[in-house]
C-alpha cells in the first residue's frame, strides 16, 4: 500500500485530505507544520506528500526545499496546496521543490488527476 503524508495546520483540511487519499487506497499520516513533517520524513518513507504552504513553525516552501535535500525524497511527489493563487506563488512553489501546485479547495477529481500526472 502506498503511503502519504498530509501536512496542514488546519485539522479540518488535514482530515479532508486524509479522506481523499484513503479513498485512493493510501495509508496516510499527518503533520501540523513543516517541522513536524520533516521529522516524520526522517523516520518514515512516504510515496506522496500533500502540503499546505501557509503554516506556523515551517511553511510549505521551506519544508519542500529542505526535504528535497534528502536522498530518499529527491523524487517523491510533493503537492503544495494553498489559497494563494498568483503566478509568483506558483513559481515560488516549483522553485522550492514542489512537483505540483494546487489552489484550494482540492476535490477528489483534482487529486486523482494530479496523482495520475505524477505517476
Q: What is the pLDDT of residues 2-19, one digit of tens each?
A: 999 999 999 999 999 999
Q: Please give the pLDDT value at position 119.
A: 67
How many domains is the chain built from?
Answer: 1
Of 53 and 86, the structure prediction assigns the larger pLDDT to 53
Q: Whole-model pTM?
A: 0.92
d(CA 27, CA 21): 8
The residue range of the domain holding 7 is: 3-118
Q: What is the pLDDT of residues 65-88, one digit of tens each?
A: 999 999 999 999 999 998 878 889
CATH number of the domain encompassing residue 66:
3.40.50.2300
Q: Please say whether the beta carbons of 54 and 60 come within 8 A.
A: yes
Amino acid at each position: 500500500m502506498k503511503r502519504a503524508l498530509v501536512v496542514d495546520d488546519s485539522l479540518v483540511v488535514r482530515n479532508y485530505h486524509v479522506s481523499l487519499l484513503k479513498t485512493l487506497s493510501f495509508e496516510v499520516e499527518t503533520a501540523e507544520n513543516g517541522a513536524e513533517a520533516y521529522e516524520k520524513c526522517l523516520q518514515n518513507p512516504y510515496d506522496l506528500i500533500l502540503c499546505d504552504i501557509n503554516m506556523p513553525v515551517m511553511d510549505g516552501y521551506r519544508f519542500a526545499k529542505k526535504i528535497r535535500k534528502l536522498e530518499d525524497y529527491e523524487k517523491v511527489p510533493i503537492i503544495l496546496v494553498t489559497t494563494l493563487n498568483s503566478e509568483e506563488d506558483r513559481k515560488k512553489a516549483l522553485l522550492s521543490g514542489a512537483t505540483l501546485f494546487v489552489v484550494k479547495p482540492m476535490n477528489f477529481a483534482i487529486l486523482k488527476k494530479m496523482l495520475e500526472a505524477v505517476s
